Amino acid sequence: MKALKISSVLIIAAATAQAQQTMNLHDCLQYAMENSTKIAAANEEVNITKIDSRDGWLKAFTPSVNAYAQAQWSSGKTNDPETNMYKELKMFQEYFQVSGNMVLFDGFSAVNQIKINKIASLTGKEKCQITSDNVCLETVKAYYNYTYYSKMSAIAEKELQNASLSLQKARREYELGNKSNQDVLEKEVFEAQAQYTFADYNAQKNNALMTLKAAMFFPAEDNLLIDTTINQAVETEQLDDIAQTATFAVDHNSNIVLAKNSMDIKHIELKTARWQFLPHVEMTAGWNTTYAVLLDNRNFYPPFSDQFKNNAGKYIGINASIPIYNRLGKFSNLSRKKSNYKIASYEYEERRREIENAVYSAYDDASSAEISLTAAQKAAELNQKYYLAAQRKFEMGVISYIDFNETFNKYLESQAKYYNALFNYRLKNAVVEYYKGKPYVEQF
């Protein structure tokens, strides 16, 4: 009855799976790239750097222009100079002004800011690439983890089916008098153990699927079908160009580029701080006019058009601000910029050493993973042959449940080590290819 229930569930699951499209590793990576909020946020940061770059160019090479208008109504007693008498006046006045200013020299602050914005734009793109690489790497790990538990769950499920069939056969043999009650009990114990093993691996498979959904930014409530078919053929990678890879990674890795850009920005800021001891020169220009009228005697002043034209004035000038003493503010700022540049330089050198060490570690891990995979594959094949032979003996009652269960556990453990070694080998080699300059999304 239990076997029938399991078969029914599998048939329903298979029918549902056929109605939906499965996703392989490349599909999962593409989906994660298109739906990741982390990548979307990184792209928005790139857009912000573009806006900053545009603003820097406008600030450096275009003037700022402002328009100003004021209207005022006043009422009260004022002294009439003709009669030296106070009288009540109601007046309406308007003032119009258009002014502009443009920096002629600011210690190259605006020009240097353009350079900083350009580097920041490149930095934003590198950060976006790092974010994409991290999302892809997490997706690959989650995919392999799910595939691993899927394979182990499938092995446990097959063994559960065998155990159920073996138990049914033992019961029929017992009814015919060909098997003892002890034989039936051993088969029942083995089936119970197989049920537990299958349930445990199936639960871990479900957890791994949720982890994969999270890595892909896939809706948790939707059904995700994964193609767990893997090519078990292993091609030996050539790992003899480690020095060349290390040199390439130290010059082109995104983390190195970020550190280099940060150091360059600090250097530009240092140069700007040095130029701030020179005068700040600015050109200003403007135009203004006024209009006034007595509300009790509108004929006392000329009309609006005449006043607007006759009262107009314009000006142009150059202002120079010379720093003399500002409580050592500029000296303190210069000292900070020097220290910031030194810190960025140290961090850049540290990143270079870290990446170089990471490359050599990646090669060592890939080489060790290849050796482990070869040993695990050989052990899995031998344990499978031994297990199949023990299974036949157990079916015939030649060996006890204890001996067969020990053989099965060794077989299950060898399969687990094999799949773990296989996925670890592919992941370690993917890291090596990444340091060679090939993004994860292009490797699968």
Instruction: List the domain range (segments joined by +) for residue 393.
Output: 231-278+329-444
Residue 237 has a pLDDT of 55
Let me know if residue 426 belongs to a domain.
yes
- What H or E segment, with its residue span, contains residue 77? strand 64-80
Long-range contacts from 309-315, C-beta under 8 angstroms, 24+ separation: 312/287, 312/288, 313/287, 313/288, 313/289, 314/285, 314/286, 314/287, 314/288, 315/284, 315/285, 315/286, 315/287
Residue of 198, 156, 208, 232 whose CA lies nearest to 411: 156
Let me know if residue 248 belongs to a domain.
yes
Instruction: Report how far residue 245's alpha carbon sits from residue 140's, in angstroms, rounded to the nearest whole number.
Output: 22
> Which residues is 242 bridged to in the sheet?
none
Instruction: Report how far residue 297's alpha carbon sits from residue 124's, in angstroms, rounded to the nearest whole number.
Output: 66
Task: Tell me if 207 sits within 8 A of 148, measured CB to CB.
Answer: no
- What CATH number has the domain bearing residue 388? 1.20.1600.10
Q: Residue 96 gets which letter from DSSP? A: E
Residue 294 has a pLDDT of 80
Residue of 334, 337, 355 whose CA lies nearest to 259: 355
Let me know if residue 416 belongs to a domain.
yes
pTM, two decimals, is 0.80
Residue 296 has a pLDDT of 74
pLDDT tens column, 6-34? 444 444 444 444 446 899 999 999 999 99
Let me know if residue 273 belongs to a domain.
yes
Let me know if residue 41 belongs to a domain.
no
DSSP, collapsed to helix, strand or coil, labels residue 286 as strand
Residue 14 has a pLDDT of 47
Query: Distance of CA 290 to CAs 54, 75, 95, 98, 309, Å?
Result: 37, 18, 5, 12, 9
Residue 11 has a pLDDT of 46
Residue 3 has a pLDDT of 44
Flag residues of the chain having pLDDT under 50: 1-19
Let me know if residue 95 belongs to a domain.
no
Let me know if residue 132 belongs to a domain.
no
Q: What is the phi/psi pair of residue 8, to 5°?
A: -65, -45
Residue 238 has a pLDDT of 55
Residue 20 has a pLDDT of 61
Q: Take residue 76 and report the two structure tokens written for it.
A: 């009260």
Let me know if residue 186 belongs to a domain.
no
Count of domains for the chain: 1
